[in-house]
Amino acid sequence: MFRFTIRDVLWLMVVVGLVVALIVTRRQAATLRSSLQSEIARNELISELNQNTHIDFVALPLGDVAAYLSAMHKIPFALDANVNSNLPITSTFKSVPLRVALQGMLAPHDLDFRIKEGAVQIQANQTANR
């Protein structure tokens, strides 16, 4: 049948080793690329949270507030599952960082926010960890 010399087996091992090394390197590069993109998105969110904003809401539902801020600042907002999206928000802030406006707007309702999964997530205060 087939007869292989030791030299043939060694060459085969070298080729298999190179293929395995190439696969591992590509997977590591993909993981690194994904993690780098997540970090860039997080940094962009943090940067936008530090930009000044002007808001004036009178009894506007929290879901609409989140949609408005998302459109205004070009960043995604999300409400936690246990947060009432119909909660009326009344707040006025002028020329303050978005972070400060969010804290001042959400604190009276025992809510807070955090960056989670590429979005600013509004959630109950006891579960918020930044």
DSSP 35-87: HHHHHHHHHHHHHHHTSEEEEEEEEEEHHHHHHHHHHHHT--EEE-TTS-TT-
> pLDDT tens for residues 59-118?
889 999 999 888 888 889 888 888 888 889 998 989 899 889 988 888 888 898 988 877
- SS3 (DSSP) at 105: helix
Name residue, tokens 């604190």.
107
Give CATH for domain 1-130: 3.55.50.30
Hey, where are the domains in the chain?
1-130
Q: What is the pLDDT of residue 26?
A: 94
> pLDDT tens for residues 75-86?
898 888 888 888
- Cα→Cα distances 41→7, 68, 117, 119, Å: 51, 20, 10, 9
- Please state, in angstroms and rounded to a whole number, the distance separating the CA atoms of residues 28 and 16: 18
pTM for the complete prediction? Answer: 0.63
- Taking residues 6-24, what's their average pLDDT? 94
What six digits make up the tokens of 18? 């190179």
